[in-house]
């Protein structure tokens, strides 16, 4: 609970620092603050409970995922000083919005009441709308913000309608009460309709097929740092929330619900990967790759045993690989009109170390062993096969094979083509972040137990 208050306080502090004209101090202060909050959050790992009449419910799940969100936000904010170098006056806004977004995310994994959940999702979404449109003078960025806002608010409306129906059926917003009602007494049909609406809204937020249409356009138009935020932080938050909601709201593992999840997962994996093959724009490609990973992560809803741990592991590995790639993309795509793969040409010769980071991170996403992405897929699929959905596993494998095709487009561009651009040195902060993330990727790959047993 205190984590959430502290994060909100930190966001306000960022805005205040601006008033005292200490712009340079914003990023360091925020990083220190976030690290302190992370330390506090880890220290409450064993003292769990509910707060404010069940509005907040702090359990292992919420603590573990909040820590992951804080780490991702810290990485994003570390890079924001360099990223917004040419617009220094706005930095406090950008940093503060990201911190508020984190607050929304923490609320979304530790809610005990659907009102709190909706509050969280709105804080998160509104922050993202602003960030997507934050490059005020760029037409594309404006378009992205508008598109995301229109579609996102529609999805929020559906979620709200679903919550209303659930309230109508059970007479409560409180999760424990809802759980008791649905597991002990009979409930009206519209409870199921309400649940489905909430799930649809969340599937929109994680960009799973068939609610994925906004993702490529928004990812492409938004400034690169916002794209990074959306594809790592926002996606991980949304998936964790969907997991938490589905576990509590869906009574039992009904065949119908499983069928929905299987179809969504299959469609996301196949469509995401096949569409990504055709992309030439790196951000669009990563958007489609993100759709396919959403399909993978949704599969955790099918399995009963150990599923939260596996979701956490998968989300961590996905975020670590994604952030490392984006750290390099910030440098490669800086001030570029077109953000095509050609910008990576010859990168392997000019910057061998960072090319190696990109290569390993892409291999991790494709699921090549020793990197954490492989372990994530292995743990996930080994549980899915237990549920009997062998078809789903085979589709997952086939889509992994397809994904190699487009991940290797970037690798081929880096190593086989020659660069036409002059050699510039990469900003130190991107370099450090990228290398640290690579180390983290290999570390959680070699020692999966670091992450895998946090929620039991």
Q: Which two tokens stand for residue 399?
A: 């889509």
State in angstroms the smallest separation of the CB of 398 from other proteins: 8
Q: Which of 16, 193, 186 is nearest to 96 (CA)?
A: 16
Stretch near other proteins under the rule CB under 8 A, chosen from 144-152, 225-233, 294-302, 379-387: 379-387
State in angstroms the smallest separation of the CB of 253 from other proteins: 18
The one-character DSSP state at 275 is H
Q: Which of 100, 118, 296, 374 binds other proteins (CB under 8 A)?
A: 374
Q: Which helix (H) or strand (E) holds 134?
A: none
Q: Does 2 bind other proteins (CB under 8 A)?
A: no
State in angstroms the smallest separation of the CB of 383 from other proteins: 9
Q: Which of 16, 22, 263, 401 binds other proteins (CB under 8 A)?
A: 401
Stretch near other proteins under the rule CB under 8 A, chosen from 25-33, 149-157, 260-268, 380-388: 380-388
Q: Does 393 bind other proteins (CB under 8 A)?
A: yes
**Nearer CB in complex with other proteins: 108/411:** 411
End-to-end CA distance of the chain: 21
Stretch near other proteins under the rule CB under 8 A, chosen from 133-141, 158-166, 229-237, 377-385: 377-385
Q: Does 60 bind other proteins (CB under 8 A)?
A: no
Over 19-83, what HEC string results? HCCCHHHHHHHHHHHHHHHHHHHHHHHHCCEEECCCCEEECHHHHHHHHHHHHHHHHHHHHHHHH
Q: Does 439 bind other proteins (CB under 8 A)?
A: no
Classify residue 55 as left (phi > 0), alpha (psi -120 to 50) or beta.
Answer: alpha
State in angstroms the smallest separation of the CB of 401 from other proteins: 5
Stretch near other proteins under the rule CB under 8 A, chosen from 23-31, 263-271, 321-329, 445-453: 445-453
The string of DSSP letters for 238-263 reads HHHHHHHHHHHHS-S--HHHHHHHHH
Question: Is the bond leading into 210 cis (omega within 30 degrees of zero)?
Answer: yes
How many Å apart are CA 55 and CA 404, to the nearest integer? 44
Stretch near other proteins under the rule CB under 8 A, chosen from 81-89, 274-282, 314-322, 375-383: 375-383
Q: Does 453 bind other proteins (CB under 8 A)?
A: yes
How many Å apart are CA 111 and CA 245, to the nearest integer? 10
Considering only the C-alpha atoms of the chain, give the largest distance between any 2 of them, rounded to a whole number of Å. Answer: 70
- Identify the burial level of 381 via C-beta atoms within 10 angstroms of its C-beta, where 0-12 means exposed, 13-18 middle and 19 or more buried: buried
Q: Does 370 bind other proteins (CB under 8 A)?
A: yes
Q: Does 247 bind other proteins (CB under 8 A)?
A: no
Q: Which of 15, 73, 97 is nearest to 319 (CA)?
A: 73
Q: Does 400 bind other proteins (CB under 8 A)?
A: yes
Q: Does 379 bind other proteins (CB under 8 A)?
A: yes
How many Å apart are CA 48 and CA 259, to the nearest integer? 34
How many Å apart are CA 234 and CA 128, to the nearest integer? 8
State in angstroms the smallest separation of the CB of 365 from other proteins: 14
**Nearer CB in complex with other proteins: 72/381:** 381
Q: Does 347 bind other proteins (CB under 8 A)?
A: no
Q: For residue 281, what are the β-bridge partners?
A: 340
**Nearer CB in complex with other proteins: 23/417:** 417
Q: Does 368 bind other proteins (CB under 8 A)?
A: yes
Stretch near other proteins under the rule CB under 8 A, chosen from 66-74, 142-150, 385-393, 435-443: 385-393
Q: Does 280 bind other proteins (CB under 8 A)?
A: no
State in angstroms the smallest separation of the CB of 448 from other proteins: 5
Residues lying near other proteins in the complex (CB under 8 A) are found at 306, 309, 352, 363, 368-370, 374, 378-379, 381-382, 385-386, 390, 393-394, 397, 400-401, 404-405, 408, 412, 415-416, 448-449, 452-453
């Amino acid at each position: 609970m205190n984590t959430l208050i502290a994060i909100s306080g930190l966001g306000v502090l960022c805005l205040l620092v601006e008033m005292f004209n200490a712009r340079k101090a914003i990023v360091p202060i925020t990083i220190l603050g976030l690290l302190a909050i992370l330390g506090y959050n880890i220290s409450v790992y064993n003292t769990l409970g509910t707060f404010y009449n069940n509005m907040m419910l702090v359990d292992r799940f919420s603590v573990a995922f909040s820590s992951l969100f804080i780490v991702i936000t810290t990485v994003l904010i570390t890079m924001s000083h360099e990223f917004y170098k040419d617009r220094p006056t706005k930095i406090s806004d950008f940093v503060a919005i990201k911190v508020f977004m984190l607050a929304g995310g923490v609320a979304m994994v530790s809610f005990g009441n659907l009102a709190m959940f909706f509050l969280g999702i709105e804080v998160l979404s509104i922050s993202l709308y602003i960030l997507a449109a934050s490059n005020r003078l760029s037409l594309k960025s404006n378009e992205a913000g508008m598109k995301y806002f229109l579609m996102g608010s529609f999805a929020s409306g559906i979620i709200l309608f679903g919550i209303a129906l659930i309230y109508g059926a059970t007479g409560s917003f409180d999760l424990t009460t809802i759980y008791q009602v649905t597991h002990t007494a009979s409930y009206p049909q519209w409870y199921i309709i309400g649940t489905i609406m909430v799930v649809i809204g969340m599937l929109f937020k994680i960009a799973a097929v068939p609610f994925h249409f906004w993702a490529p356009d928004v990812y492409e138009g938004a400034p690169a740092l916002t794209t990074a935020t959306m594809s790592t932080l926002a996606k991980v938050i949304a998936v964790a929330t969907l997991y938490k909601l589905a576990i509590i709201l869906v009574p039992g593992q009904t065949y119908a619900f499983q069928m929905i999840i299987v179809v969504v997962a299959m469609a996301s994996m196949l469509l995401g990967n096949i569409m990504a093959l055709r992309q030439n724009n790196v951000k669009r490609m990563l958007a489609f790759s993100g759709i396919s990973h959403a399909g993978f992560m949704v599969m955790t809803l099918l399995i009963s045993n150990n599923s939260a741990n596996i979701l956490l592991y998968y989300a961590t590995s996905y975020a670590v690989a994604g952030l490392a790639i984006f750290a390099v993309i910030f440098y490669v795509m800086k001030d570029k009109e077109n953000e095509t793969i050609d910008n990576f040409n010859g990168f392997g010769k000019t910057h061998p170390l960072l090319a190696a980071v990109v290569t390993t991170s892409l291999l991790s996403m494709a699921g090549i062993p020793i990197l954490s992405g492989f372990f994530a897929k292995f743990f996930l699929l080994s549980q899915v096969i237990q549920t009997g959905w062998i078809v789903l596993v085979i589709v997952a494998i086939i889509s992994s094979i397809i994904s190699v095709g487009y991940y290797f487009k970037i690798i081929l561009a880096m190593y086989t083509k020659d660069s036409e651009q002059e050699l510039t040195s990469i900003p130190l902060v991107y370099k450090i972040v990228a290398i640290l993330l690579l180390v983290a990727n290999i570390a959680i790959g070699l020692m999966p137990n670091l992450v895998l047993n946090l929620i039991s």
